[in-house]
Chains A and B, each alone.
Chain A
Amino acid sequence: MGIGYQGKTLKEMLAEKDRLIRETGYFYGLEKLELAEEDPAKLTRFHMRLLAGCMSARETAKLISASPAAATMGEFLFEIATPEGDVVSASQGLAGHVLSVPFMVRAMIDLDYEDDPGIKEGDIISNNEPLYGAPHASDCYTFIPVFYEGELIAWTVGMNHISDVGGMLPGNLAGISVNAFTDGWQYPLVKSGENFKQHKWWELLWKTRTRLGTMNILDDKMRVAGAMALHNRISDIVEEFGVDYFMKALREILERERRVLIQRIKSQAVPGIYHLVQFHTVRYKGVTGKLFPNSDRDWLLHMPAELRILPEGKLVLDKEGLTSEADFHINCREAGVRAMASLGTRPMFAYSKTMNTAMMYVLDHEMPPGSMANPQNPFAGTISGLGIMGRYSVPLWNCISQAFFATGFLEEVMPHNPVIVAYGLGGVMADGFRWAGGNLSTVGVQSSAGRPFKDGEPVCVGSANLMTDLGEVEKWEFVEPTQLYIGQKLVPNYCGHGKYRAGLGLGICELVCEPGQHLTLAVFGSASSEVTGAHSGMCGGYPALGPVTYFVHDTNIKEILEKGLPYPTDFVQVREWLKEGKLKAGSVELYHGDTPNVVLKDGDLFVTACMANCGWGDPLEREYDLVEGDVRHGWLTLDVVKGVYGAITDGEGKVKAKESEELRQQMRDRRKERSVDAKDWWKEEREKVLTKQFSEDVYNMYADSSKYEKFRREFVGMWQLPEDYQL
Chain B
Amino acid sequence: MKTKILFLFGMLCATPLLGQNDLLTMLNQEDAKKITYTQATFKGSRFINGQTVETIAKKHINFWISHRFGALNSGFMDNFLGLDEAKIRLGLEYGLSDVWLLGMGRSTIEKTYDFYSKYKVLKQSNQMPVTLTVYGSLATNTMPTGYSLPSGNIMRYENNLQRQTYMGQILIARKFTDKLSLQIMPTVLHNNKVESIYFDNDLYSLGFGGRYKLTNRLSLSAEYYKNIVDTENFLKTSGTAYPYQDSFSIGFDIETGGHVFQLHFTNSKGMIEKHFISQTTGTWANTDIFYGFNLARTFSLEPDKKNKK
Do chains A and B interact in one complex? no
